Structures are given as C-alpha cells and as structure tokens.
Structure 1
C-alpha cells in the first residue's frame, strides 16, 4: 500500500458491506476480522488481497497485523442483546453485549484518527439510554470526541427503509456532522425491474437481465457496473400452501390478508409480527431486509420469496458481488449487512474533513 493511502480496519466485518462503502469512498482496507466462516469467505472473495482473520476477536492482537497506524477502525459488534426485536437476551449477561469492549480495545491499541461504530437502533434505549452514554464515556477516556445518530438507509440512495445506529469518533478535535439526506428515495421497482423473472425454488447461478442497461433506473445501472449478468438468482423453495398464501397478499399487505382457513397452523396469530408475509410495495423503498427468508418477504409482482440477487440489490450490493456459503448463510449475511451506499455516504463525509 502507498504511504499516503488512508487505511481502514474492519472488525466484526460480516460479508463486508462497510468495507465496500469505505473502498468506494477511497479508503484502503488493511485487514478484517470475522469469526463466521462463510462471511469471512465472502469478504475474501470480494476484497482480494485483504487479509481476513477468521477467529475470535478477543484473541486477536491488532498491533501484530497493522503495519501502519490506521486512518479509521470500523465495525458492528453482534447486537442481538441490544435489538428491540429480541426480548429474551436483552440483558447485561448476554456476552454479545460485551463485544463492543473489543471494539474499544482495538481503537485504544491502534489510535486511529477516526472510528465508526454501528449497531441496531435499539441500542439507543437499552438500559434506559445508559449503554450509549457508557460507550461515549469509554471513547472520551481514550481521547475521542463522538457523535451519534440513527440513520435511515432510504435517505442515502438505498431502496430500503432500514434504520441503523452509528457513532463516529475522532481524536482530531473535529465536530463531525452526519451527511445530509438525499432528496429522492429509490423504490423497489427502480431497484429490481431489470432482474429476471423467477419461480419458487429456482436456483440459477447466472441468468439474464430482462432490460438493457439503457432502459433501467440510475440506481440499477450503478448496481450493474462491472457485471455482465445477474449472479446468484437463488430463491428458497417454499411449500405449496405457503405459495397459496402469497397469492392473497397485495403489495404493502402482510399476513393479515391471508384467509383464516389458510392460517390454521398458527395457534395464536396475535403473535405474528407485522413483517411476516409482507409483499413489497413496488412504489416505495423496501421494508427492512433482515432475515428475509424467515420473514417470508414476497416479491412485489411474483408469488415467491426474494432471490439472493434481489435482496442484495435492495441492500445496495452491486451485481458482481458474490456471497459464499450455503443459501441460509448467504441470506443471513445479506440481512446482517450495512448497506454499502449508506456506509459510503458516511465515509465520504469523514474524508471531507
């Protein structure tokens, strides 16, 4: 790497959504840490030449792997304990809640100019808001001023109404401000219109675009850069009775539109989350693409679940980005990722200082 390169280190990297955004903004990735084998393989494949440490972060000495002082350290520690959707393990005893201390350790050891810490929105009210105050105080003690905000991906060119918590810190005395929102939101139709028509259970490693690049949205054209064909057109195989349920759901509707006689296996439908059996509205940004297979998110026009490539598009992963591992692992990697375009907006703002 050139001495003038701004080096970033990605910890808890997952598939590499943050790194993709960082690279697009002009940051070189020094190394990454990711314990999950499939996610680490995905990162390696899409960031050739970057060393990925597939091991427990508590056992990693960052000084051994960092040749020069990094410009920025970034990552999102596992956040099951912080999530508002998880009521069983939201406690201080959850070991995942302690993993942010490993993030603090990396920053303290390497003293980068900047750091970016991301998590679920639920962290803001966890422990009555004291968790965020505690994290801020930790960074203050090691010399970092911090700013935090909950950002919506749809405000930054991502066709998905996804909210994430970000804390940005620096040791340069800079009063950081988060990037301004975009005026235009990208909808599902604009994001997916040129991807192939598929059926329940289809599995095509390579397919054909349904529209020439001259006839697609600016967003879709950006996703197609460096890609000759849509890859990983994999759709989970659902049972016939599930597909029958899909047929009763219009765009924007959820499981409540399914006739009661088709939902008899649900002993208590009151426990159904509003995101279950949700058909995407083509004219709006998508709902959150988390565990989209488990939630059974439905294509806006076709009676089936989303393909890997469609879910990746809605997360703003370019079409040449290839995910590694079994289908369920791939789906989880996509659902866990920070949308690269959202990440890029934050990194560009950091670089502007």
Structure 2
C-alpha cells in the first residue's frame, strides 16, 4: 500500500481523496484546533497508527520530524491560500503572515525525500510559483508539472478551479503519464446542485445541531448513492445546520435560482432598498442562490458569501456544502458552526483528490 504524509492537512479533504484511492496516511500536521480535531476524528479511528500532530508548520524544525516514519511515496498539502486569493486583494500579499508557507512546505517536503510532492493552491498563486518554488525543486532533482483542474470535471458538483503542483523525484516522462492517466478519469458529464442534495432532509438546524436526521428519500442517482455508502457509509445525516441570518434572509425570496442580489435588486421592496447606501457597491459574489440545474458556484464560507439554497429561503447547511464539495456523508465535521463552514470552504474536494491519487498510484506502483 502506498503511503503518504499530509502537511497543512486542514480537516482532511486531500487526505480523504488519497484514502479513497487506496493510499495509507502515515502522519499529518495541522495548526488549527477544529480542523485538527476533525481530521483526527475521521482518520485516526480508521488508521490507529496514524500520527496526527497539531503544530504550526512555520515553526516546525527538521528535528521535530526525525522520529516520524520515513520512506513515504508522497508528501501532499495545501498551504493556506489567503496571500494569493482574489478574495484577499485588500491585504498586501508580501506582508501576509502566510506568504512564505508554500516555500516552507516545499523545503520540508524535499528534506523528507518522497517519490512525489503534491501541492494544491488557488489560481492566483500561479505567477508566484516559478519564482518561489520550481527552481528550488529542480535544484533538488525533482521534475515538475503545474496543472489547472476544475473539480466539476472529476465528479464534484461544483465549479472549482485550482492549481496543482506535481514534483516527481524520478524520470520526467512519468509526469506526463500521470497527467495522461488523470485526464482519462475526467467525467463526460457534470453533476448539478439538485442532483447532489435533493435527498437531504427538509428540516435543517439553525445555529446548533441536535440529533442526526433521516434522509428525505432513498438515493435517486449514483452520486447520492456514493455519498451515503463511501468512507464506511452513513445511515443518518449529520452537520445539517446553518446560520440564522435573519436580516439577510429578508432578501432571499426576491433572488431567483442562478441570480445574485445585484441582479435581483430591482425586485426588492422599497424598505429593503433603502438599507443600501450605495447600490453600485453590492458585490456580485455574495447573496447568490444556487441553480439546481447546474454545478454549484465555488463553495466559500456559506454565511460570509451568503450562498442560498436553490429552493429554500436560507443559507445552505454544512452538510449541503460538504455534498457540493464532494465529501461523503460519513465524514463528520467537528466544531462550532462558523468553524465547520470555514473548514468545508477551505478543503480540497475529495473526489478530485481521489482522481489525482489514482493517477499517481498507477505510475508509482
């Protein structure tokens, strides 16, 4: 069985994809309390020998990992994306506290001497990549490829585009074979929001989750069947909780599927319109109602981005967001509501990670 370590593991989206592809997690590092607890809850119970470490990677020394298992086939990770995200334009990237974390990830990975290094980042990172990382990897003897992938092409019901850096400590032509295998796994059709979530319960909790809920119906398509049976399977629905957002919800009835608030503004009652001092300042990426006929928009923090259910006048739940990210229902998020919403938003879609892991495994084996 191929073995990997996950640095900046978050709640475990990237790790989950590798596990679903038949890989074995050996150790993982995560700084955040709730992502670390979520990762530990979902993986340590299945892999008792997995070493989960809660630590800030920026302060990690090589002596801290000398006692950890070696001989890994892969080191994987997704360093925090805020310095490179288009949603973070207001902050100076060079001065951001996370700016050097991708460099730190690559330095650590090189010293671990795996067969392959995989790093995920947002689209805005590409122009920083050659300057920061590729030269260092080449100097260390790694051959590299950067590939731009859309999760919706790999069985994820969401348009989510990310860059993946592949670095192989072997023959350069094997990288092309990995990419060839990966693109053979692309789906010929996409999965819509409606197909992804229509079997989830009518009832949703607000603010705080209580007991798990029953499904609304039997699975009606292969994606729902996969969501219920994968990763050990689930007979009940957890994390079906959302934000109350009472003042926000006043606007929801006027926003049609596929629309945002900016487009629906003319239909708002006068008393709601008066609450906006400057209509031109309304951001087009917030207050968006999902279109049930299409893959989801990129899932960000559901409350902060005000991602609205396609039919109900509420923000989507954590479980609905997780379905749109490609998490199976058996994967449970641990923590307060805001933390769970952020974890889902930040995660790598597991089904996309699974396709990458399968392509890599086909070559390394």
TM-score strictly above 0.5: yes
Residue 295 of structure 1: how far off its partner (Å): 1.0
Given the alignment, which residue of 66, 86, 89 partners 1:84?
A: 86
Given the alignment, which residue of 193, 214, 217 partners 1:188?
A: 193
CA RMSD in angstroms comes to: 1.6
Partners of 1:193 and 1:200 lie apart in 2 by: 17
User: 2:52 matched to which residue of 1?
Assistant: 52
Q: Which one has the bigger helix percentage?
A: 2
Partners of 1:350 and 1:99 lie apart in 2 by: 24
Consecutive unaligned residues in structure 2, runs of 5 or more: none
Partners of 1:11 and 1:280 lie apart in 2 by: 33
Partners of 2:153 and 2:69 lie apart in 1 by: 36
* TM-score, normalising length: structure 1: 0.93
Structure 1 runs of 4+ off > 6 angstroms? none
Residue 260 of structure 1: how far off its partner (Å): 6.3
Partners of 1:328 and 1:85 lie apart in 2 by: 18
* TM-score, normalising length: structure 2: 0.90
Partners of 1:111 and 1:268 lie apart in 2 by: 55
Given the alignment, which residue of 249, 259, 277 partners 1:243?
A: 249
Q: What is the correspondence of 1:123-162 to structure 2 with a 5 Å cutoff?
A: 123-124=125-126, 129-162=127-160
Partners of 1:90 and 1:141 lie apart in 2 by: 29
User: 1:198 matched to which residue of 2?
Assistant: 203
Consecutive unaligned residues in structure 1, runs of 5 or more: none
Counting matched residue pairs gives: 342
Partners of 2:289 and 2:67 lie apart in 1 by: 46
| Mapped pair 1:13 → 2:23 | no
User: 1:285 matched to which residue of 2?
Assistant: 295
User: 1:234 matched to which residue of 2?
Assistant: 241
User: 1:303 matched to which residue of 2?
Assistant: 313
Residue 204 of structure 1: how far off its partner (Å): 4.1
User: Structure 1 residues 263, 75: closer, same or farther in 2, change over 3 A?
Assistant: farther
Residue 133 of structure 1: how far off its partner (Å): 4.2
SS at match of 2:240: strand
Residue 292 of structure 1: how far off its partner (Å): 1.4
Partners of 2:150 and 2:350 lie apart in 1 by: 13
